[in-house]
Amino acid sequence: MRDAFHDELNALNDRLVEMTSLVRSAISRATTALLDADLQLAESVISQDAEVNRLYAEIETSIFELMATQQPVAVDLRVAITALRMGGDLERMGDLAEHVAKIARMRHPDSAIPPEVRDTILEMGQIAERLVTKTGSCIANHDVELAKELDDDDDAMDRLHRRLFRVLLSKDWAHGIEPAIDITLTGRYYERYADHAVRVARDVVYLVTGSRPESNSAS
């Protein structure tokens, strides 16, 4: 019975890793759709978010069943509760990638991103991919040291977020209110995506060590 229980815990870990792969693909494709005004790609991100939601629902169901039938305690309970938290953060990351794709769809056939901020948005997308790639490795390998690296990547995302606002508030901004709103929302989506990735990494540290790392990121 206990072997089956631990097999199910391992299956939860596998589902979480699969979720990181899905939300990494989503943010990558959403970024490309946004910058290239690619409607088909944007639609694919939006429709495939259902798969992320499905995996999270499976994780929720499995954890509730385990808690009802196995009554886990100590480390096993920590694994179950932490998996539920991580799944929630990853599901939210999928939603945020979907939000980016919806901005691309809304402005098609035009690009929502003016030339002045294209490089910044591209870099934010690259950092988002790097963060979630590391997150997947953290979950798969219970890698505490790698998990601690994500704060630095999150700091880089925050700097880019602030750069966007400097451009938007510049007296040289010539694109009006609607593009400014799009860019404000887009920057927020990437910034929050990074925050959720860091939250997942911090949960990996908690899972392995039993204590949470001190950090001013991903509050």
Q: What is the pLDDT of residue 102?
A: 98
pLDDT in tens, the chain (219 residues): 566 777 888 889 999 999 999 999 999 999 999 999 999 999 999 999 999 999 999 999 999 988 888 777 778 888 889 999 999 999 999 999 999 999 999 999 998 999 999 999 999 999 999 999 999 999 999 999 999 889 999 999 999 999 999 999 888 888 889 999 999 999 999 999 999 999 999 999 999 888 877 655 444
Cis peptide before 115 (omega within 30 of 0): no
Give dist(CA 10, CA 154) in Å, integer. 28
Residue whose pair of structure tokens reads 């997947």 in the numeric block: 136
CB-CB neighbours of 78 under 10 Å: 16
At a CB cut-off of 8 Å and minimum separation 6, what does 10 contact? none
**Structural domains in the chain plus CATH codes:** 2-209 (1.20.58.220)
